[in-house]
Amino acid sequence: MKLEELPEEFIKAASVIDEIQQHDFEAYFVGGSVRDTLLGKTSHDVDIATSAYPEEIKQIFKRTVDVGIEHGTVLVLHGEESYEITTFRTESTYQDYRRPDSVTFVRSLEEDLKRRDFTINALAMEKNGQIIDLFNGLTDLADGMIRAVGNAKERFHEDALRMMRAVRFASQLDFAIEQETLNAIYTYHSLLSKISVERIAVEFSKLLLGKDRLKGLSPFIETGCYQSCPGLEGKGRELFCFSELPNRQIEEERQAWTLLVKELVIQPEEICPFLKEWKLSNQMIHDVTELSYGLTQRLQGEWLATDLFRLGLDLVLSVEELLFYYNQEVKLKETANKYEQLPIKSRKELAVTGNDLLTVINQKPGKWLGQLIDELEKKVVTGELVNEQEALLVYAKNQLNKEGK
Ligand code: ATP
Ligand code: MG
């Protein structure tokens, strides 16, 4: 098969392949960009595989960066673009189910394609668009099948991460996992415990954000992969509930984790430890915690001014979008309007500061001051007090008198 019209990225990159060939080496487009182009998707970075060794690539191109030379990858800067060029390689004997003991550079494309995970990822393309398909990847691509290259059991035993990759590709591409490959995942799912949480999390979050989440979640649950993921052990039933949410693609990663946390019935104080186990960033943990709070509140009724104020517009709209998954009307415009009508949107806008209060109230600063500001802020947000210095100071003084301070 030959692709007659190549996307722009490949046309641009063809001169790099040309250059390598002029030095009597082979070079091809490989990996995800070939797969995605054949699926008619706009592809991302094009990856190039070559028979030239890294040192040879560095001699051919003037501007290069060693980005992963021990794996055979050299970054070639070419005009405005940069390309990862990786030497054909085989990976011999995996002792720990995750990293090859050694990478051996080879001159044969076939050897290189053989070590790749799935047939749809083991396609190569010549610079003119001619497809090289040694493992029937084109048929699997047409049939929507994820199939391991070679013996599935061996391949997952070598590198357990591939099982997570299988389920995430199923979700991203809306593909099914071929039976033998699925059986092999069922057999070896527990080897996932050997893989670092960070690498599992990358694949899992891609699964959650995929086009057809259910296509990935079902095998993830049925094969038992979840049993070896942080915080998911024994949570088959809850995960099944999660998989039953309307199967529309989730837009943001933080939304995906929020829906997951809710369906797993994780209590508010357990959200942070759960997400920490997944080694997510502090920003992500913060956002998911706030979104979870907001979603719980919003599912009980319309937005409260204090919650709009607490979350801020960005998180508020993100929560609002999640109502879709609970069959409720999503009111983005109305919510944004409500937010805009808040008397103040941050503490900075409050008409009094701690210093103002200390000037008129003759007392040493202490806990009372923070509590008083919290109260003033809340009353302004809810409209009980107008945001004017005079009025706020009067109120503050009265309050303190009342409390006998
Ligand atoms: P994406 O669109 O998510 O980048 P991709 O297929 O390009 O998908 P990468 O992780 O970028 O995935 O890997 C590039 C290629 O390297 C894959 O297409 C596959 O051929 C090979 N590959 C990646 N990870 C593995 C693995 N764990 N085992 C075997 N081959 C792999
Ligand atoms: Mg890629």
Phi and psi at 286, nearest 5°, equal -60, -50
Tell me the C-alpha distance between 333 and 362, whole Å: 46
For residue 94, name the pLDDT band (cuts at 50, 70, 90): low
**How confident is residue 200, by pLDDT bands cut at 50, 70 and 90?**
very high
Residue 102 pLDDT exceeds 90 = no
**Cα 30 to ligand 1 centroid, rounded to whole Å:** 10
Q: Of 249, 284, 314, which residue is a domain's last?
A: 249
Query: Considering 249, 269, 298, which residue would you say is the last residue of a domain?
Result: 249
User: Could you tell me the distance, in angstroms and rounded to a whole number, from the CA of residue 302 to the centre of ligand 2?
Assistant: 43
In the chain, how many domains are there? 4
Alpha-helical regions (H) of 252-388? 253-263, 268-277, 282-300, 305-311, 313-322, 332-340, 354-360, 367-381
Strand pairing report for 176-177 and 145-146? parallel
Are residues 20 and 83 both part of a single domain?
yes
How far does the centroid of ligand 1 lie from the alpha carbon of residue 118, in Å? 9
Q: Is the C-beta atom of 121 inside 6 A of ligand 1?
A: yes
Q: Rounded to whole angstroms, how far apart are CA atoms 203 and 216? A: 11
Domain harbouring 63, CATH code: 3.30.460.10
Q: Measured from the CB, is residue 31 less than 6 Å from ligand 1?
A: yes
Mean residue pLDDT across the chain: 95
Residues 6+ apart with CB under 8 A from 167: 177, 185, 203, 207, 216, 217, 219, 220, 223, 225
Q: Judge if the beta carbon of residue 159 lies within 6 A of ligand 1.
A: yes
This prediction has a pTM of 0.94
Terminal-residue alpha carbon distance, the chain: 85
The Cα diameter of the chain in Å comes to 91
> Please, which pLDDT band fits residue 92 given cuts at 50, 70 and 90?
confident
Looking at the fold, whether 1 and 112 belong to one and the same domain comes out as yes
**Which range of residues forms the domain containing residue 86?**
1-135
Ligand 2 centroid to residue 312 C-alpha, Å: 35
The answer on 200 and 119 residing in a single domain is no
Place of tokens 């794996």: 71
Last residue of a domain, one of 135, 158, 179: 135
Do 3 and 118 sit in the same domain of this protein?
yes
Residue 30 CA: which ligand is closest?
1
**What is the residue-wise DSSP string for 204-258?**
HHHHHTSTTHHHHHHHHHHTTGGGGSTTTTT-HHHHHHHHTS--PPP--HHHHHH
Looking at the structure, tell me whether residues 214 and 106 fall in a common domain: no
Average pLDDT over every residue of 207-221: 98
Residues 25 and 131 grouped into a single domain: yes
Task: Give the integer Cα–Cα distance in Å for 386 and 396.
Answer: 13
Tell me the C-alpha to C-alpha distance, in Å, between residue 312 and each of 254, 257, 315, 316, 342.
15, 19, 6, 6, 11
Comparing 38-42, 67-71, 228-232, which segment has the lowest mean pLDDT?
Answer: 67-71
CATH number, position 367: 1.10.246.80
Do residues 354 and 332 both lie within one domain? no
Ligand 1 pocket check for 32: Cβ under 6 Å:
yes
Asked whether 116 lines ligand 1 (CB < 6 A), one says: yes
Element (H, E) at 22: helix 8-22
Residues 130 and 30 in one domain: yes
If you write DSSP's letter for every residue of 103-136 in order, what string do you get?
EEE-S-HHHHHHTSSBGGGS-EE-TTSBEE-SS-
The verdict on the CB of residue 155 being under 6 Å from ligand 1 is no
Output the pLDDT for position 323: 98
Q: Is the pLDDT of residue 88 over 80?
A: yes
Q: How many CB atoms lie within 10 A of CB 1?
A: 11
The residue whose CB lies within 8 Å of the most ligand 1 atoms, and thus the one to mutate among 98, 109, 116, is 116
Q: What is the CATH number of the domain that holds 148?
A: 1.10.110.30
State the pLDDT at residue 24: 97
Residues 285 and 222 in one domain: no
92 vs 1 pLDDT, higher one: 1
> Which atom of ligand 1 is nearest the CA belonging to 47?
14
Query: Among 375, 403, 404, 376, which residue's Cα sits nearest to residue 391?
Result: 376
* Whole-number pLDDT of residue 403: 75
Lowest-confidence region among 15-24, 39-48, 86-95, 372-381 = 86-95
Confidence bin at 405 (pLDDT 50/70/90): low
Q: How far is the CA of 165 from the centre of ligand 1 (A)?
A: 8
Q: Which ligand is nearest to the CA of 173?
A: 1
User: Is the CB of residue 117 below 6 angstroms from any atom belonging to ligand 1?
Assistant: yes
pLDDT of residue 342: 98
Instruction: Give the residue from 88, 86, 94, 93 showing the smallest Cα distance to 111.
Output: 88
Q: Are residues 66 and 177 in the same domain?
A: no
Q: Does one domain contain both 21 and 81?
A: yes
| pLDDT digits 0-9 by tens, 129-185 | 999 999 999 999 999 999 999 999 999 999 999 999 999 999 999 999 999 999 999
Report the percent of the chain where pLDDT is more than 70.
Answer: 98
Nearest Cα residue to atom 6 of ligand 1: 32
Q: Are residues 206 and 277 in the same domain?
A: no
Atom of ligand 1 nearest to the CA of 122: 20
Residue-wise pLDDT for 344-398, tens only, equals 999 999 999 999 999 988 888 899 999 999 999 999 999 999 999 999 999 999 9
Residue whose CA is at the smallest distance from ligand 1 atom 11: 32
